[in-house]
Every structure is written in structure tokens, then in C-alpha cells.
């Protein structure tokens, strides 16, 4: 049985369609209910819907053999997993944003609100800029508006959230997309089905380029 952790939500549904095409279908998953685990014994596959930021934990600890996680999560938490493939979907970017009229004063420590403390620290360390991290769990865009921070480091997809809140991208840090990841030990034991899946996903990704 191949255990696959998928991120709940639109990205997970899109990725499931790719897995289905690859011969790892599990029709019951399309039923609209609140179950979180779906199994198809015939194909030898079991899917779990988990919170997107938790996929890497399931895979790192071997509760799932493989999974799909955003590059943002992999950069932030650096889980000890194999990164097998860039799925070329779930594309967005990690960026620094601020109020449109914000001007950085290098004499002061920069106050950075973010969910991605490691990414922000690494980015500003590479610039030699001293910062204070203000760790928030969501709705990061509010922080500069209320004066809690000078800038934010966050994911920008369509840019709508920034626009609606009168913020603008100041710098781009790194492009983000969904990645297929595997548990290191289980990859060896379940090499055959994983390689089979990987070959089809690679083809599908090439077709979308
Ligand atoms: C993410 C991100 C931004 C928004 C960007 O938030 O933190 O707020 O999406 O998307 P956009 O550029 O298309 O507007 P998410 O929905 O994950 O919620 P949260 O960070 O507030 O929890």
C-alpha cells in the first residue's frame, strides 16, 4: 500500500487528478464528504487529506510514504525528505511587501512580520540587514497597516490581498511551487510504485510546460 499525504484544498485536488492519471485512482475521494482517508486496494493506494503545512511532517516521520508540499514549507522547515519533482503547479512567490510609501531606514532594525521566520532570517542575513522577526500565524498583511511591523515576508499568488490592503511588493525572495516529496527509508522499500508514479508525473509536468 502506497500512503500519500495530499494538501487539503484546491492544490490537493489538482494534484490528485495528476495521480489519478498516473494510475493511482481512488474514486471514493471524489465523493464530497468530510472523510480524511481514502483507500483503493486494487491500485494499492491510500490518500490522506492533511493541512498543507503538515504534509512534510507526515512524510518525514513515515506516516505517509510520499506527499505534496509547497517549496515554501520545505525552505522554512527543512524536513529530512527527498524532493523528487517540481510539479509546476501551485505557483506563487515569496516576497517582501510593505505600505506603498514605506522607505527603509538602514539606521533602524527592520521589523518583519511573517509566518516564515527562517526564510526571512536567511534572506536578510544574505543582505547583511539586521531585523526583528514578529511571528504571526495568518492575515500577515494587517501588520504594516497597524504599525506592528515595517514589512511582511509572505506568499504572493495573484497579488489581490496586497492590492486590497494598499500594500506593494518591494522585493522578490524566491519562486514557489508544489513539490513531490518522499520519506527517505520508505522510498527504498516502495521504490517500484513510487518510480512508476514519478515517471507519469514527469510526463504530465512536461506537457504543461
Ligand atoms: C496566503 C498569503 C496571502 C495570500 C496571497 O494567505 O498569506 O495572504 O494567500 O494570495 P493572493 O496574492 O492571491 O492574494 P492564506 O490564504 O494562506 O491565509 P493566511 O496566510 O492569512 O492564513
Determine if ligand 1 sits within 6 Å of the CB of residue 138: yes
What's the 155 CA to ligand 1 centre distance in angstroms? Answer: 6
Determine if ligand 1 sits within 6 Å of the CB of residue 155: yes
Determine if ligand 1 sits within 6 Å of the CB of residue 22: no
Determine if ligand 1 sits within 6 Å of the CB of residue 161: yes
Tell me the C-alpha distance between 179 and 182, whole Å: 10
Question: Among residues 137, 135, 144, which one has the least CA distance to residue 166?
Answer: 144
For residue 31, name the pLDDT band (cuts at 50, 70, 90).
Answer: confident
Query: What pTM does this model have?
Result: 0.94
Q: Which pLDDT value is given to residue 33?
A: 77
Tell me the C-alpha distance between 59 and 4, whole Å: 8
| Residue 179 CB coordination number (10 Å) | 23
Q: Give residue-wise pLDDT tens across range 108-118.
A: 999 999 999 99
Cβ 40 vs Cβ 2: under 8 Å? no
Q: Give residue-wise pLDDT tens across range 131-182.
A: 999 999 999 999 999 999 999 999 999 999 999 999 999 999 999 999 999 9
For residue 209, name the pLDDT band (cuts at 50, 70, 90).
Answer: confident
* Mutate which of 155, 158, 164, 173 for ligand 1 pocket (most atoms within 8 A of beta carbon): 155
Instruction: Name the residue at shortest CA distance from atom 15 of ligand 1.
Output: 138
What's the 102 CA to ligand 1 centre distance in angstroms? Answer: 21
Q: Give residue-wise pLDDT tens across range 189-201.
A: 999 999 999 999 9
Q: Which pLDDT value is given to residue 34?
A: 86
Tell me the C-alpha distance between 127 and 121, whole Å: 10
Q: What is the mean pLDDT of residues 27-41?
A: 89
Q: Which pLDDT value is given to residue 138?
A: 94
The pLDDT mean for the chain works out to 96
Q: Which pLDDT value is given to residue 174?
A: 98
Tell me, rounded to whole angstroms, the distance of Cα 140 from its chain centroid.
17
Amino acid at each position: 500500500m502506497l500512503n500519500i499525504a495530499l494538501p487539503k484544498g484546491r492544490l490537493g485536488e489538482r494534484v490528485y487528478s495528476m495521480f489519478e492519471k498516473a494510475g493511482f485512482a481512488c474514486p471514493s475521494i471524489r465523493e464530497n464528504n468530510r472523510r480524511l482517508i481514502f483507500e483503493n486496494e486494487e491500485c494499492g493506494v491510500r490518500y490522506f487529506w492533511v493541512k498543507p503545512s503538515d504534509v512534510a511532517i507526515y512524510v518525514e516521520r513515515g506516516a505517509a510514504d510520499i506527499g505534496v508540499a509547497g517549496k515554501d514549507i520545505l525552505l522554512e522547515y527543512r524536513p529530512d525528505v527527498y524532493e523528487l519533482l517540481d510539479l509546476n503547479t501551485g505557483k506563487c512567490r515569496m516576497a517582501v511587501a510593505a505600505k506603498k510609501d514605506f522607505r527603509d531606514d538602514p539606521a533602524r532594525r527592520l521589523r518583519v512580520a511573517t509566518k516564515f521566520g527562517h526564510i526571512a532570517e536567511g534572506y536578510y542575513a544574505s543582505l547583511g540587514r539586521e531585523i526583528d522577526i514578529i511571528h504571526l500565524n495568518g492575515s500577515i498583511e494587517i501588520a504594516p497597516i497597524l504599525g506592528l511591523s515595517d514589512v511582511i515576508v509572505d506568499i504572493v499568488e495573484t497579488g489581490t490581498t496586497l492590492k486590497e490592503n494598499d500594500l506593494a511588493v518591494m522585493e522578490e525572495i524566491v519562486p514557489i511551487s508544489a513539490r513531490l516529496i518522499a520519506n527517505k527509508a520508505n522510498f527504498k522499500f516502495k521504490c517500484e510504485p513510487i518510480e512508476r508514479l514519478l515517471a507519469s508525473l514527469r510526463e504530465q509536468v512536461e506537457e504543461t510546460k
